[in-house]
Amino acid sequence: MKALTWQGNEQVEVVDVPDPRIEEPTDAIIRVTSTAICGSDLHLYGVLGPYLEPGDVLGHEAMGVVEEVGSGARGHLKVGDRVVVPFNISCGHCWMCERGLFAQCETTQVRGQGKGASLFGYTSLYGSVPGGQAEYLRVPQAQFGPIVIPDGTPDEQFLFLSDILPTAWQAVRYADVPPGGTVAVLGLGPVGQFAVRIARHLGAGRVIGVDRVPERLALAERHGAEPVDLDRFDGPGELAAALIDMVDGRGPDATIDAVGMEAHGGGLVAAAQKATGLLPDGLARKVTDKFALDRLDALHAAMKGVRRGGTVSVSGVYGGEQDPMPMMEMFDRGIQLRMGQAHVRRWTDEILPLVLDPADPLGTLDLTTHRLPLAEAAHGYEMFRAKSDGCIKVVLSP
pLDDT at 280 (0 to 100): 56
Q: Is a pLDDT exceeding 60 seen at residue 273? A: no
Tell me the CATH number for domain 2-163+343-397: 3.90.180.10
pLDDT-derived band at 268, boundaries 50, 70, 90? very low
- 278 vs 84, more confident: 84
pLDDT at 262 (0 to 100): 62
Q: Is a pLDDT exceeding 70 seen at residue 121? A: yes
What digits encode the pLDDT tens for the residues 167-220? 999 999 999 999 999 999 999 999 999 999 999 999 999 999 999 999 999 999
- 200 vs 330, more confident: 200
What digits encode the pLDDT tens for the residues 45-86? 877 777 899 999 999 999 999 999 999 999 999 999 999 999
Q: Which CATH homologous superfamily contains domain 165-339?
A: NAD(P)-binding Rossmann-like Domain (3.40.50.720)
Mean pLDDT in residue range 380-394: 95
Q: Is a pLDDT exceeding 90 seen at residue 161? A: yes
What digits encode the pLDDT tens for the residues 285-328? 554 555 456 788 999 999 999 999 999 999 988 877 777 888 88
What does pLDDT average to over the chain?
A: 92
pLDDT at 370 (0 to 100): 97
What digits encode the pLDDT tens for the residues 231-248? 999 999 999 999 999 999
- 44 vs 193, more confident: 193
pLDDT at 279 (0 to 100): 53
Q: Is a pLDDT exceeding 90 seen at residue 144? A: yes
Q: Is a pLDDT exceeding 50 seen at residue 263? A: no
pLDDT at 316 (0 to 100): 87
Q: Is a pLDDT exceeding 60 seen at residue 380? A: yes
Q: Is a pLDDT exceeding 80 seen at residue 163? A: yes
Q: Is a pLDDT exceeding 70 seen at residue 277? A: no
pLDDT at 182 (0 to 100): 98
> Where do the domains of the chain lie?
2-163+343-397, 165-339
Q: What is the 3-state secondary structure (H, E, C) of the chain?
A: CEEEEEEECCEEEEEECCCCCCCCCCCEEEEEEEEEECHHHHHHHHCCHHHCCCCEECCCEEEEEEEEECHHHCCCCCCCCEEEECCECCCCCCHHHHCCCHHHCCCCCCHHHCCCCCEECCCHHHCCECCCCECEEEECCCCCCCEEECCCCCHHHCHHHHCHHHHHHHHHHHHCCCCCCEEEEECCCHHHHHHHHHHHHCCCCEEEEEECCHHHHHHHHHCCCEEEEHHHCCCHHHHHHHHHHHCCCCCCCEEEECCHHHCCCCHHHHHHHHHHHCCCHHHHHHHHHHHCCCCCHHHHHHHHHCCCCCEEEECCCCCCCCCCCCHHHHHHHCCEEEECCCCHHHHHHHHHHHHHCCCCCCCCCCCCCEEEEHHHHHHHHHHHHHCCCCCCCEEEEC
Q: CA-to-CA distance for 288 and 284, rounded, in angstroms?
A: 6
Could you give the percent of the chain with pLDDT greater than 90? 83
Q: CA-to-CA distance for 343 and 39, rounded, in angstroms?
A: 18
